[in-house]
Every structure is written in C-alpha cells, then in structure tokens.
Structure 1
C-alpha cells in the first residue's frame, strides 16, 4: 500500500504545478492521474502571460524551454471583434519587436503543454507519479483519506488531499458541495482546422463576439503547422434558456458569417468537434475543507470572460503547495487552518475574476459592448486593461485606484 503525507488527484497544470512546487520545497508527494501521458484535454489551448510567470516560479528555465518548443507558436496579442464587427487589436506589449522581445503568450495544444509539465514532473525524484490510476472513491479516515479503485481496493492513503481532477470532479461535487450552476458554468465546443485563411502573422488570438450568438463567443487560436483551434463558448444558462444547439450554430457561423465564411471556405476540419464544460470563477466558492484543497477547474476558478483556466490552475497549484507544506509542518489539517489557502488564491485572483464577470455581463448588451470596443480603440487605459487580463500583470493595485475607473470610462493614460 502507498502512504504519503500529501496526495494529488490529477496531473494537469494545477496538480503538476503543486507537485513541482512541493518538490522544490523538499516535500514528498504522490501524484495520481487516470490517464497515461501524453493525453489530450479539450481546451482553447492559449497560454497567457500568467502561465509563463507561473512556469518561471517553478524553474527559471521553463519559459525559455517552452519558447523554443516546436509544439507552440508565440502569440503577440489579441484581436477582439465586437458585435458590430469592429476589430480591436490589443498587443500584449505596445510596439513589440518580434526579433528582440520574448513573446508574452503562446498557443500550444494541451496534449503537448500538459506533457511539457509532466516531463518536468518525471525529472523530480521527490514526486511519486503514477499514471493510469483511476481513483473511483475517496473515504475520510481518522488519519486523513483512503483512495479506492472501482472494486473498492485501496490504492493509497494520505493525510492531505489536493484535488486537481478537473471540471467534472466528483469530489468537488459530492464532498465540497460544488453544484453545477448554469449561471456560473460555460458550455464549450472545440475542434481543429487546417488552412484557415488570414490568420494573424503575429499569431494574435481571436475572440469574436457575434451579435446573433451573444452572450456566447467564438474563438480562433493559431497553432503550429498552419493549424488553428476553433471553438465556441456560451453560458450554460443561456444555452438552456435560448435552446441553443452549439454544434449547429458553430457550423452555421463558419459557413454563413460574412467575415468568417470566406476564411473557412478552403479550411479542413481535423477530427471531431468535442464538447466540454467550464465551471466559472464568477462566484466565490470554498476551495478547502477538513483535509483537502481544491485546485484549478475542480475549484471552479476559470476566468468568466475569456474562459482561460490554465494559469488560474497553476496559481492555485502554487498556493496549494505552500499551504499543504505548512499544514504538514504544523500537523494541522482542519478546515479553519486550510482556509488560508482560499484567502491566498482569492487575494491573487479575486479582483480579476470580478472584473471578468463585469466583462462577461457586457455580452448581454451588444450596444454597450460595441461602445466599449469603440472607446477602447481611442482609450489606451481600456485597451491596456483588456490586454492585462491575459498577462501576468497584477491588476489589483490598478483596480484599487479611484482615478483608474475615470480613465477607463473617459479615456486618458
């Protein structure tokens, strides 16, 4: 039988990041995943500047390693397309120079990025990493947790459980009480294409807010080898209320939209359209309880406006590692002590999640969204703020300044 002080369920970005930080601190852990890597994960595949910052915190060489990987393309900004068709180009860095600047973002398929992290995990002897292990049930014990397979056989025991097993986490639902709330959950579809016309030469990721599809949006993210990740997302409540068939709407948009149809006329779809659900961070939920911490998607930490979840999973993984080590040191696994983890995560992400929630609500008001997009073209403060939401620039200090909101609405630097 395996016994560890700390066990991590799920080896995606949140779980892998937690394991790597624990290893850096000299703390042994058991990392379990039901899959064998490399494995695919349905996602938009965009890696924001926050991801690069979190990689650097793990190991200073990791961002450079990612930058030279053939599995990614460097992305230099975002193209927002408002409901009126107005394009707002927001570079991650004003007046960037591709010859000398390091890219502030990347796009890489999750099968490749997650494996990039796992390869780092494999290099750490302090991480007991086990693949193809399906934890079907967890049982609370006086000493911590017992992990069981489908037949009820014990897989491992631990004192503290870090739950990073994704958006469909049974533990998050049954133990932590995270119910699926349609108003705080996004339904998404993703597929891959080859030869989409007129992709940005600077690999800007595209977010299209199409009037007839609001409050949903469509994305096009460029990938290596002339491929692109194409998908749609919409609040689950809106999907149900409007009886939207997302697969049908995706096909309709790509074949009939006046700006997009010509770009997809010669494009080839690679493989099936696959669906996924995103528990959004638009509502603050408990991230811990007696003997456990919730990380990433299992903690409903996805950005409600952009749908970005990788960096938030990695942020939560870093803080989970810190507070897990503290809990071991103090032998304190009570719900009260572990709430320090919740405070740390929301101290870092809370204000940004609230700002994203405001941006998400704009999608219900096309004319207001158009107004914001039009203003942003002439308003550097607003354009910078949109850009910063995708970078690792801490918005908290800026959001605390009363004058910021005046500039946001009325322009100025």
Structure 2
C-alpha cells in the first residue's frame, strides 16, 4: 500500500491542472482516476478564454499546442438569444481578426480535451498517475490522514492531503464535505451530438437560446470539428421538479418546432444517444476544504450558474489547490483553519463572476427583464463588454468598485 503526502482523486481538468502545477513546483503527487483515458464525459465542450490562460500558466506552449489539434475548432464568442428572439453577439475579444489573432476560445469534445491534459500529465515524472483505480471509500485516520480503499475493501493508499477532483457526483463531496444536492443550486442537463446543423456561425460562436416557454432553462448549440455540433438543454433541478419537465421530450420538441431552430435542424443527423448529467452550481458559497482535504472543480460546486461552464473554474481551483497543498506541506498544517486560505483564494478569483452569473440566472425568472437587458446590451458597449469579461481571464474587481462603472451600465457609453 502506498503512503504519500498528496493524492488527487480525478484526472479531469481540475485534477490534472493541480498535478501539473505541483510538478512544476517539484512536488511529487499521486493522481488516481477510475477511468482509463481517453474517456468521454458529458459536457458542453466549450473552452473559454479563461481555459487558455490557465493552460498558459501551466506551460506557455500549451495554448498553441491545443490550437494545432484537429480535434478542436477556434471560437470567437457567444450568441445569446433572448426570450423575445433578440440576438446579442458577445465576442470573446473585441475587434478580433480570426485570420491573424490567436483564438480567444475553443470547442473540443471532452474525450479529446481531457486526454490532451492527461498526455501532459504522462510526461511528468513527478506525477504517479494510475488509471483504472476506483476509490470507493475514504476513511479518516486518527492522525488526520486518509485511507483510500476500493469497493472490495482493498487498501490503495494512505494520504496526508487529499485533493478531491472526482466530479459532480463526488461521494466525498456529498458525504464528507456536506455538499448536499440542492435543487435550487443544481442544474439538470442533456447533451447530444449532431451533424449537419445549418447556420452555424462562421467564427464558431457558441449559441445560448433562452426560449420563452422553456424558461428558466436554456438550449445550447456549440460547433465542433467535422461539421458536428454539441446540442443540449439545461434547467435548474428545482424547476424541472416543480414544472414536471421531461427534458428529453422538450429538447426534441424545440429542435423540431421552434421558429429559429426547426429549419436549421431539418436535415441534421443525431450521432449517438442523448445523455444526461447534473451540474452543481456555484450560485451559493460553500466550504471548499476541511481537515486534510480540498475540493476542486465540479466536486467543489463551482460551475457557472448562468452558462453552465465549469472547465475553467476547475482549472482555476486546481491551480490554487496546488499552491495551498504546497503551503500546507511546508507548514505541516492540514487543519481546517489553515486550509480555509484555499477557499479564500478560489472565491477571491471567482466570487465576483459567480455572483454576476447568479444575477443573470435570476433574470430567467423575468423574461421581460431579460429582454430589456439584452436590448440594452445590444446598444451599450459597457454592458456588452462586461458580458465578454465573464469568459476571459480579466480581473473585474477593480472595475466593479468604481461608481462610474454602474453609471455606464445604466446609461450607456464606454
């Protein structure tokens, strides 16, 4: 049985990012995943500008390597469709030139992007990466360490500090960290792949459709390589339950009947099954750490409550987890009080964006207000730019502290 200082559960974007930052710092770690890569994960597949910045923080060459892959397409922005049908185009970068500028975002199936990160992991001797290891039990020991076991009780490792990055269905997050599934802060989603969808943006803008009779849910269409598209729907679990919504049925109905979509999908071919997934949203602040553990990514309930984007937030948490794991080892302090510094670091970076996204999510309860904001943003460069900033690695804190910012939001201007 292994004994190690740092073990990471889950080799998705959050776990892989943490492992790579630890390796960069010369800190060995054990990385475990129950899957064997490449493996698929149900997701929207969009990689925002913040993902590229986090890749660059791992290795300055990674964004260019990603852009060179045939398994991705560059994406330059988002088309929001308000309930009244008004389209609000929000580029990731203003005045972009796709012919000369590096891509501001990408879209890549998770089977490909996660494997891209894992391939970086495989190259690092500091990372003891073990696939096909299903940790079914985590038992606290008297000295604070964690004993990891498989489902049949076989010991896997004894760990000083556990970085939990094993996804939205994390048993550790639910049973030990107390992240109960809260329907008001959880999204149910469906995803399918299609080929032959008409009218995709020439610069691969992702589409978010907020359809009046489907609120507070939304539908997305994300272009992919080879003429494919990721198409799906998401809705608060609370609303699904209250309204007794059959998401699978509604997805089919919307694609077949909605005026803005039916012609575009008339000859489209669905590739494979419609698959479901759950998203624990970052619409309320939760504890991200405890005695001898840190939660990362989806296991930490850090998914954007408005767009459902979680990859960049997982990578941000992975970077900070590596930092605080190193600090804890240096101080030999794994107490909840010390590790709360990790919580503060993550929310210092993501908190403002999560609050803004929560406010935008609440607009879905008031279609007329959502329409008003969309109409205003179409004429207000400051508001449109603020929406863009949600998808970039730009620090909004200084801006939102300025009274002039709110005047510009309300009355327009730059």
TM-score normalized by the length of structure 1: 0.99
Q: Distance in 1 between matches of 2:394 and 2:102?
A: 15
1:240-290 deviation line (CA, Å, top 9, x unaligned): 111100000000000000110000000000000000000000010000000
- 1:75 shift after superposition: 0.3
Per mean C-alpha deviation after superposition, the further-off stretch among 399-408 and 288-297 is 399-408
Aligned pairs, number: 413
- 1:142 shift after superposition: 2.8
When the two chains are superposed, the root-mean-square deviation of aligned CA atoms in Å is 0.6
Matched with 2:41 is 41
The yes-or-no answer on 1:304 pairing with 2:298 is no
Matched with 1:65 is 65
- 1:218 shift after superposition: 0.3
Matched with 1:7 is 7
Counting only pairs closer than 5 Å after superposition, residues 154-233 of structure 1 correspond to structure 2 as: 154-233=155-234
Q: Distance in 2 between matches of 1:222 and 1:351?
A: 29
Matched with 1:236 is 237
SS at match of 1:80: strand
Matched with 2:344 is 343
Per mean C-alpha deviation after superposition, the further-off stretch among 395-404 and 121-130 is 395-404
Does the 8 Å CA contact 1:10/1:163 hold for their aligned counterparts? yes
SS at match of 2:249: helix
Matched with 1:369 is 370
The yes-or-no answer on 1:122 pairing with 2:136 is no
Structure 1 stretches of 4+ with a deviation exceeding 6 A read none
- 1:410 shift after superposition: 1.6
Q: Distance in 2 between matches of 1:400 and 1:301?
A: 23
Does the 8 Å CA contact 1:107/1:223 hold for their aligned counterparts? yes
Matched with 1:384 is 385
1:61-119 deviation line (CA, Å, top 9, x unaligned): 00000011101000011111010001111111222111111111000000000000000
Return 5+ residue gaps in structure 1 as ranges. Answer: none
Matched with 1:22 is 22
Q: Distance in 2 between matches of 1:388 and 1:342?
A: 23
- 1:391 shift after superposition: 1.4
Q: Distance in 2 between matches of 1:67 and 1:395?
A: 27
Per mean C-alpha deviation after superposition, the further-off stretch among 384-393 and 154-163 is 384-393
Matched with 1:77 is 77
SS at match of 1:60: coil
Matched with 1:137 is 137
SS at match of 1:95: coil
1:365-405 deviation line (CA, Å, top 9, x unaligned): 00000000011111001111111111111222211212212
- 1:60 shift after superposition: 0.2
Does the 8 Å CA contact 1:295/1:317 hold for their aligned counterparts? yes
Does the 8 Å CA contact 1:296/1:302 hold for their aligned counterparts? yes
Q: Distance in 2 between matches of 1:276 and 1:205?
A: 20
TM-score normalized by the length of structure 2: 0.99
Q: Distance in 2 between matches of 1:378 and 1:105?
A: 24
SS at match of 1:371: helix
1:336-376 deviation line (CA, Å, top 9, x unaligned): 00000000000000111000000000011000000000111
- 1:406 shift after superposition: 1.7
Q: Distance in 2 between matches of 1:308 and 1:400?
A: 25
- 1:153 shift after superposition: 1.2
- 1:189 shift after superposition: 0.4
Matched with 2:358 is 357
Counting only pairs closer than 5 Å after superposition, residues 325-336 of structure 1 correspond to structure 2 as: 325-336=326-337
1:288-341 deviation line (CA, Å, top 9, x unaligned): 000000000000000000100000000000000000011111110000000000
1:32-86 deviation line (CA, Å, top 9, x unaligned): 0000000000000000000000000000000000011101000011111010001
The yes-or-no answer on 1:56 pairing with 2:56 is yes
Q: Distance in 2 between matches of 1:94 and 1:341?
A: 33
Q: Distance in 2 between matches of 1:238 and 1:403?
A: 37
Matched with 1:91 is 91
- 1:10 shift after superposition: 0.4
Q: Distance in 1 between matches of 2:289 and 2:352?
A: 20
